[in-house]
């Protein structure tokens, strides 16, 4: 297991957000975390990389306790792509290079620069390498954010709604890329999502969160209409065509 969560709980101002969360993610697996708005999906990601201090529970990455690590040690193991990324007058290359921060003393070594060059080439950002990031489109910017997390050389990638602001083509491109990286490097990824059909298409397993608890952690093949209906409180149909599964909400047409 790359990620092992036991009995995780987090409260904000005395109000419980997450309770009794358990999750195990092996190498090579992409997990999509789904659930209604405000259910604690983002909070879960931030507890895993200790941006938020969980009130109790055990968080292990490669069997090491994240809660006992210094922030830079956590960052050397867990890459985080936040929902929003800010821009500045820095080049794409420089923005991605900051991903090396957990591994750096002061000077960026030849290896650091080569690593950034390789990831830029891998993500097809070569033509943009010396462009300023405040001139990029949403899709390009999201690629930069993912590239920054990749040069961190993490064992685990956390992505908070990586496709929410992207058009269809960019969504597919970003998720294909994630799939390829997870497979190539034998790392694991946990991403929050709203679009269940995209999750069914690109993730290996789905985690359904309801009222701060993990309702189910199931493989894509085991997702049922009843489960999805229970989580979102909406009647749905689940169709399967070959390996593909997709969910259609049943909305009665107003007459």
Contact 139, 176 (CB under 8 A): no
Closest distance to other proteins from the beta carbon of 41 (Å): 14
Closest distance to other proteins from the beta carbon of 52 (Å): 9
The nearer residue to other proteins, 144 or 231, going by C-beta atoms, is 144
Closest distance to other proteins from the beta carbon of 151 (Å): 11
Spell out the residues 6+ positions from residue 168 whose beta carbon is closer than 8 angstroms to its own: none
Contact positions vs other proteins (CB under 8 A) = 49, 51, 70-76, 78-91, 93-95, 98-99, 101-102, 104, 106, 113-114, 116-118, 120-121, 126, 129-130, 132, 145, 148-149, 152, 158
Q: How many CA atoms lie within 13 A of 199 on its CB side?
A: 26
Coil, helix or strand for 224? coil
Q: Give, for 178, the enclosing helix (H) or strand (E).
A: helix 168-185
The nearer residue to other proteins, 57 or 102, going by C-beta atoms, is 102
How does DSSP classify residue 134? G
Structure tokens that stand for 118 in this block: 């390789």
The nearer residue to other proteins, 184 or 235, going by C-beta atoms, is 184
The nearer residue to other proteins, 152 or 171, going by C-beta atoms, is 152
> Which of 166-169's residues contact partners 24+ apart within 8 Å by CB, and which partners?
166/138, 166/139, 166/142, 167/139, 169/139
Q: Looking at the DSSP assignment, which residues form a beta bridge with residue 33?
A: 192, 207
CA distance 129 to 114: 13
The nearer residue to other proteins, 19 or 151, going by C-beta atoms, is 151
Q: Looking at the DSSP assignment, which residues form a beta bridge with residue 6?
A: 58
CA distance 80 to 152: 9
Closest distance to other proteins from the beta carbon of 216 (Å): 28
The nearer residue to other proteins, 57 or 79, going by C-beta atoms, is 79
Closest distance to other proteins from the beta carbon of 123 (Å): 11
Closest distance to other proteins from the beta carbon of 155 (Å): 14
């Amino acid at each position: 297991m790359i990620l092992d969560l036991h009995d995780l709980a987090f409260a904000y101002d005395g109000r419980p957000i997450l309770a009794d969360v358990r999750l195990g993610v092996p190498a090579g697996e992409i997990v999509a975390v789904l659930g209604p708005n405000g259910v604690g999906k983002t909070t879960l990601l931030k507890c895993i990389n200790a941006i938020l201090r969980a009130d109790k529970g055990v968080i292990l990455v490669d069997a090491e306790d994240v809660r006992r690590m210094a922030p830079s040690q956590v960052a050397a193991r867990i890459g985080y792509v936040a929902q929003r990324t800010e821009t500045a007058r820095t080049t794409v290359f420089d923005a991605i290079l900051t991903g090396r921060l957990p591994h750096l003393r002061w000077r960026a070594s030849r290896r650091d620069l080569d690593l950034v060059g390789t990831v830029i080439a891998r993500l097809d950002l070569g033509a943009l390498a010396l462009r300023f990031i405040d001139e990029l489109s949403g899709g390009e910017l999201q690629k930069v954010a993912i590239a920054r997390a990749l040069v961190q050389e993490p064992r685990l990638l956390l992505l908070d709604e990586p496709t929410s602001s992207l058009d269809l083509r960019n969504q597919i491109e970003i998720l294909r890329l994630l799939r390829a990286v997870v497979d190539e490097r034998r790392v694991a990824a946990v991403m929050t999502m709203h679009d269940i059909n995209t999750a069914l298409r690109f993730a290996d397993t789905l985690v359904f969160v309801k009222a701060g608890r993990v309702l189910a952690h199931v493989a894509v093949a085991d997702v049922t209409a009843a489960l999805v209906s229970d989580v979102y409180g909406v009647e749905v149909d689940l169709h399967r065509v070959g390996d593909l599964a997709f969910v259609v909400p049943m909305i009665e047409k107003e007459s």
